[in-house]
Amino acid sequence: MDSLQLLQNGGIVLALSGILTQVFKGIIPNRFIPLFPLVIGIVFGLLTMGLSVESGLIGLFAGLAAGGLYDQKKVFKKSEPELEFDGK
């Protein structure tokens, strides 16, 4: 598969991941919403571009882009108390 075709398929996977995430937001628990586009991206990447590491990585990056990298980080980050600054 050439680079242009991989890029086009990555765009399709990105769009599908984003759309399906929006559709299923009310169905899946809130704590799994950031992981959902990641999994969907990998699955659609492998289905549309064949079983290879390359297509899995493109699906992974498309899922990260669809869900937002910040949202992915929040799932794994433990809740830390915020430090208050009193201005002194």
Q: What is the pLDDT of residues 17-51, one digit of tens each?
A: 888 888 888 898 888 888 899 999 999 999 988 88
Of all residues in the chain, the percent with pLDDT exceeding 90 is: 16
Q: What local confidence, expressed as pLDDT, does residue 43 receive?
A: 93
* Rounded-to-integer distance, Cα 61 and Cα 34, Å: 13
* Rounded-to-integer distance, Cα 6 and Cα 52, Å: 12
Instruction: Quote the crossing angle between the two packed helices 3-24 and 35-49, to the nearest 10°.
Output: 140
* Rounded-to-integer distance, Cα 67 and Cα 18, Å: 7
pTM confidence score = 0.70
